Structure 1
Amino acid sequence: MQISRLFGIVYYLLEKKETTGKELADRFEVSVRTIYRDIETLSSAGIPVYTNQGKGGGIVILDKFILNKSVLSEKEQDEILLALQNLSAARYPEIETILSRLSSLFKKSDVNWIELDFSPWGSDERNKENFNALKMAIISKHIIIFEYFNTSGVKSLRRVEPIKLIFKDKAWYLKAYCYDKRTYRTFKISRMANIEITEDVFEQGTLVESAAEATDNQFQKNIDIRLKISPAGAYRIYDDFSEKEITKHEDGSFTVIASMPEGDWLSNYFLSYGPIIEAMEPQSLRDAVMSKIEVMMGNLNRKGGPTLRDH
């Protein structure tokens, strides 16, 4: 990653003051030609790095140069460190090293005031491995294969070109070109299993340009919903909806008016609210929830039906 190497070169020069192209090439495991291109990039950015010609010459940084005073304001330093912490939350390669180096260069000792973790509570190692596998497949532009469970619980095998990870409404999704559907699809990562990175590489440039015109199938159409929530439901609705979507009444109950993606998942979602829901619109959503409640009651009340002890 070039940005990591550039900061690494500056950090190394600030410590040693002078080095050689070969020494830097060996340290960062690149060619000497690449190192000299990096030096040109740093010089163009206003960082006083230059080369001394002749015997005993090398790569030098100006003695009195201090990165945190000469190039970036205090506000810019804080913004850069916060941006790196965001990437750190997504476990982006080498970010912890860059963050540590810049914190030292900026003389910032309070960079741990925020911790970002997008993984759900109780998430296991498999979820973390899946996330890292997708991240690396996107970066390296490798086609992946995985099993996917749709909203109806039907499992299918998918082969896709992964484009980007999306964090939307408390969940991670993968935007990808699906060979099976021959179009772009958005997959919920928690429903993906047995992710395999293949050796096949794809050209991402053309795909990203086309993807801008595609519609995410998961978020294609919204419906307006209206809920009456009992006073006991405050803990839930303030987690799931914005304050402007919630109206609190004198008796402590709430009305929620919001727009949500349409699909079978929505009735399953509101089933999880249990008895705190007192009324629901539209009628079609209410009917879907009631139908599932009736099925659940039938299953649980079935005489002579199996119990957990039978399994």
Structure 2
Amino acid sequence: MRASRLVSTLLLLQSRGRMTAQELADTLEVSIRTVYRDMESLSAAGIPLYGEPGHDGGYQLLDGYRTRLTGLTTGEAETLFLAGLPTAAADLGLGAVVTAAQLKLMAALPRELRDRAGRIAERFHLDAPAWYHNGDQTAHLTAVADAVWDQHTVRMRYERWAEPREVTRTVQPYGLVLKAGHWYLVARSADQMRTYRVSRILDLEVDAEKFDRAPDFDLVGHWQAYLEHFDARRHRGQATLRLSPNVFARLPQLLEPALVSAARLTASEPGSDGWIQVTIPIESPEHTLPELLKLGAEAEILTPAELRDHITNTVAAMARRYYG
């Protein structure tokens, strides 16, 4: 375990350059004390590394030094092929590049690892879009990706939900996220990070101007916080429902995860008829109605009255349509 960690430390310093003890500890999931001991061991082994104290200090290898400890284990070789996202790479215009890289990697591997890694593509496939939905048509995705990579400011005409529907924005593109078949651009606009759905970009111009990316920006952390804030912002109300045992058991197939989780947390003891009372977060009645209609006659809305009236009127209108 320790030998593997020392190799990982060496490769981290080689690929990232200077790193603080805290950064190494966080990445390797060890204590800072362990990092200090590892640095001493590497130095004693003749590895040309040095540390600098202070806020801007850290450990780094002597300029020009590169280790040859780049051999892959069986698991590492396999996961390199499993980690690839062929559909995402194709969307970004990198399909041929990914294929070429995989071919070069396969050629460089020993025969045993090459055979095992090759079987990954034969046995596992990632299909990102959700069931019964195609991915977005993203005419400007490649240009956006180039701007993200090269840190070029972009000016775009964008279609949004609120009025006015079309707006023009000049943004600094920080990253791209693929979520359930949809591409999202995370960008800084007017000193605030915002999220844009790439398929809603109507026109795009990439400026020659480059911007300085904030060095402490964490795309994964930002996206997770965005999702949590998005759910909190859209779920502004609550609804109380009675559910049959059958539909309660089938909630994961009928409703989104946030609603299922809330229903399970608030579920009452079954009544004499076996039905269960739950409380779930909701958006407006208009947005919530299609979701709750999936539950059919095995669900009853108790509150709020507005939502109960809304579904009552909808069902009555459907009955008139079919039965006159």
1:98 is matched with 101
Cα deviation 1:210-242 (Å, max 9, x = unaligned): 998997464554556665455368666336328
Alignment length, in residue pairs? 228
2:293 is matched with 274
Distance in 2 of aligned mates of 1:228 and 1:135: 47
- 2:297 is aligned with 1:287: no
Q: Per the alignment, in what secondary structure is the counterpart of residue 80 of structure 2?
A: helix
Q: Per the alignment, in what secondary structure is the counterpart of residue 119 of structure 2?
A: coil
Q: Per the alignment, in what secondary structure is the counterpart of residue 120 of structure 2?
A: coil
Distance in 2 of aligned mates of 1:172 and 1:253: 41
Structure 1 pair 77/282, CA: closer, same or farther in 2 (3 Å)? farther
- 2:185 is aligned with 1:174: yes
Instruction: Give unmatched runs, 5+ long, in structure 1.
Output: 1-39, 48-69, 303-311
Structure 1 pair 81/201, CA: closer, same or farther in 2 (3 Å)? farther
Q: Per the alignment, in what secondary structure is the counterpart of residue 144 of structure 2?
A: helix
Cα deviation 1:118-146 (Å, max 9, x = unaligned): 2354537x614344443333223231403
Amino acid at match of 1:155: R
TM-score by length of 2: 0.51
Distance in 2 of aligned mates of 1:97 and 1:226: 55
Structure 1 pair 96/246, CA: closer, same or farther in 2 (3 Å)? farther
- Residue 111 of structure 1: which of 78, 99, 120 is its match? 120
Distance in 2 of aligned mates of 1:135 and 1:252: 53
1:146-225 alignment runs, 5 A limit? 146-150=157-161, 152=162, 154-159=164-169, 160-167=171-178, 172-179=183-190, 183-189=192-198, 192-206=200-214, 209=217, 216=226, 218-219=230-231, 221=233
Contact 1:103 1:111 in 2 (8 A): no
Displacement of 1:209? 4.0
Cα deviation 1:2-44 (Å, max 9, x = unaligned): xxxxxxxxxxxxxxxxxxxxxxxxxxxxxxxxxxxxxx97x71
Contact 2:151 2:213 in 1 (8 A): no
Displacement of 1:280? 4.8
109-118 or 167-176, which moves further after superposition?
A: 167-176
Structure 1 pair 115/236, CA: closer, same or farther in 2 (3 Å)? farther
Distance in 1 of aligned mates of 2:203 and 2:215: 21
Distance in 1 of aligned mates of 2:289 and 2:134: 23
Displacement of 1:267? 4.7
Instruction: Give unmatched runs, 5+ long, in structure 2.
Output: 1-62
TM-score by length of 1: 0.53
